[in-house]
Chain A
């Protein structure tokens, strides 16, 4: 019965192949010298890929020089909310570098892996770099888009991801909302002034109407910032993309500047993507020292320089190369604390189930 042997040979080859591949797989990071080699996992959000690719190499080199220990940093990227969810579900991140504080709060609250006071453990609210929300339009700006008000004109297609899953999308949404508040109230301090309650209410109503109209102009809600960028640049859908400033600069570089151009609105939000040590994981894995050094290194001159080179606004700009720092357009920035009283409130009011976003966004309309 020859074919039977044939079959067993096939099966054997498959199993043998599996074993060989298995042996080759996990032992990839071997190597000797200094202390035992160590591995860190940095769970991050979408647009930081290029930034951390460079930063990881620089940090590994520096750590090796300082301690003689080999360190490999693994990266995982995705929508900020999705990544936080994965860490809660057991993805063993030594450090998280996410798009917004709320996502790290969620990890702290739901899994207790991060200490609740994480925001104060590093300088500048644990945000070593900041960014903001800007517009990308087609070359020559054919639809004449210069500020937030132009986005709600009829016939304008706005591309922005889904605030339910994407951190960047939440910043986009809040930037639009905050711009209306700023315009109506002049001074965001009035939001906390009881004597201005009437004016504040009117401004909030206007903001709600504005954002509602804006989302009627959104043809597709992608799940992450990078997916939206691809929709706009590769698939050619939409007239304007609301994007992270760093993502916008990256796009301009990729597209060579002859297909799209950057538009900076009159006022926009200061986005502080925070970083945190995942205490539960580093203590279990014994990686606290190196993970702590990794995060602190983001504030070092080298870290700030790399951030600026990748179009993140360094929080200590004097450490960055002057020509890199000069690339960031001057723009009036408001913070989430000014306009919304912090992430917890903003999240609860706007993005929770049944929140304002759910009320104003009706798909297919």
Chain B
């Protein structure tokens, strides 16, 4: 499993000469912690504080509320469709881009990045222009009584568009780095296409893939801008969780708004935990590979 670029630093073993004086280290750490506390921890704590201020019973009451439940369901449904689709697409795109040479490759990479580059509002408006009543396909959709925009399909489409690049972007550099020697070896040894994919390619990229899926999922659940444009804000129908939070807040229903927000925050925390776990596994894996393949040079420092 060689071929990836590995970077490992062990600061405890750094020689005295390249270390910073103690006060610099303390100051830097203090500033970092203060910053983290002020800008990340405090808002997070305040969300849960506000959510639980009215008591646990009120907290759960505002979550069990029918409109809130629909919002949760819609968010899960959206992520549940968008993430697998983008997983398959991302894998296919990364595969094509990393293992094959063809004309227009650069353009394709740029196109994949497009959703990152445009503002989510524009992403939403694109779908209005395509599927809105006055849009390109609008009259045909109306004639056939099909609903895309201001309905669940629109929300899913907008989310898919926005989360499009996550998996592919995560995989492309890694697969390019890995090259196709292992696949070629597998083919030479008589493995078929599927077998090569399942037993050679996938194991090599699995952690990066999972990492991409996690990021993709986080964005799919949290997306506000694009979804806001295409949703139509119909309560109990096309409101996702982020939209529902805004609506509740605008209704002076702060406690309920923060309760739903805390649910979103919890999802984020779970995502972060999963991400950390994946990173930790990756590192553990690399460590294993390393000790098995090449002994770590004495003195630590950076190993490439």
Is A62 in the interface zone, CB < 8 Å from B?
Answer: no
The stretch among B37-45, B47-55, B227-235, B259-267 that forms the contact with chain A is B227-235
Q: Give Cα A107 to B247, complex, Å.
A: 24
Contact with B along A82-106 (1 / 0, CB 8 A): 0000101111100000000000000
Are B73 and A24 touching (Cβ within 8 A)? yes
The minimal Cβ–Cβ distance linking A132 to chain B, given in whole angstroms, is 22
The minimal Cβ–Cβ distance linking B8 to chain A, given in whole angstroms, is 22
Measured between beta carbons, the chain A residues less than 8 angstroms from B149 are 89-91
Q: Give Cα A110 to B134, complex, Å.
A: 9
- What total of chain A residues lie within 8 Å of the partner, measured CB to CB? 40
The minimal Cβ–Cβ distance linking B197 to chain A, given in whole angstroms, is 10
Is B58 in the interface zone, CB < 8 Å from A?
Answer: no
Number of A-B contacts (CB under 8 A): 105
From A1, A4, A26, A78, give the contact of B152 (CB < 8 A): A26
From B134, B232, B236, B251, give the contact of A91 (CB < 8 A): B232
Are A86 and B77 touching (Cβ within 8 A)? no
Q: Give Cα A92 to B145, complex, Å.
A: 11
Summarize B's interface: helix, strand, loop or mixed: helix
Q: Give Cα A350 to B243, complex, Å.
A: 32
Interface residues on B, range: 35 or more
From A25, A74, A90, A226, give the contact of B77 (CB < 8 A): A25
The minimal Cβ–Cβ distance linking A339 to chain B, given in whole angstroms, is 31
The residue in chain B whose Cβ has the minimal distance to the Cβ of A86 is B232
List 18 additional contacts besides A76-B233, A89-B149, A111-B134; criterion CB under 8 Å. Answer: A4-B198, A7-B206, A10-B210, A10-B213, A14-B83, A15-B80, A17-B76, A24-B73, A25-B73, A77-B250, A89-B135, A90-B149, A91-B149, A91-B150, A92-B147, A111-B133, A230-B249, A230-B250
Q: Which residues of B contact A (CB under 8 A)?
A: 66, 70, 73-74, 76-77, 79-81, 83-84, 87, 128, 131-135, 138, 142, 145, 147, 149-150, 152, 198-199, 202-203, 206, 209-210, 213, 232-237, 247, 249-252
Q: Which residues of A contact B (CB under 8 A)?
A: 1, 3-4, 7, 10-11, 14-15, 17-19, 21-22, 24-26, 28, 41, 46, 49-50, 74-78, 86, 88-92, 110-111, 226-227, 230, 250, 254, 284
